[in-house]
Amino acid sequence: MTKFAALLALSTAAVLAGSYRGVITESMCLGDHKAMNMGPDPDCIRRCVKTGHGVKYVLWDGKAAYRLSDQQTPEKFAGRRVTITGSLYPKTGVLRVDRIDPLK
């Protein structure tokens, strides 16, 4: 592989490492939960994810939802504002979770 081809491959697989803030919610209702006529209730979020109908934990930053690579750790942060340290894969919208910290 030439140096140019290797550089091109790296640039198309761009990963944005850093910290991301938002609310841990689920992929069906997202941040506002208007569809359910309620606020982001932690128990409701957990139940929705456990239905097995393809609903996943996401980080909602107020504009976009990022699918989380880890679907176990976010359970204890359901409905809470957090900072996630990890890497965002812009092409897929997946946020690889390295660490989750609650915001005060």
Please report, for the domain that includes residue 68, its CATH number. Answer: 2.40.50
Residue 62 lies in a domain: yes
Residue partners of 57: CB distance under 8 A and separation at least 6: 24, 25, 26, 27, 45, 49, 68, 71, 74, 75, 78
In a domain, 90, yes or no: yes
Q: How confident is the model at residue 99 (pLDDT cuts 50, 70, 90)?
A: very high
Domain extent, residue 20, equals 15-102
> Do the domain assignments include residue 79?
yes
The average confidence (pLDDT) of the chain is 84
- In this prediction the pTM is 0.79
Structure tokens at 69: 């690579």
Confidence band for 19, pLDDT divided at 50, 70 and 90: very high
**How many structural domains is the chain composed of?**
1
For residue 97, the cross-strand partners are: 86
Q: Report the candidate in 87, 68, 84, 65 with the shortest Cα–Cα distance to residue 13.
A: 87
The answer to whether residue 53 sits within a structural domain is yes
Answer yes or no: is 43 within a domain. yes
2 within a domain of the structure (yes/no) = no
pLDDT, mean of residues 80-84: 97
Place of tokens 């609903």: 55
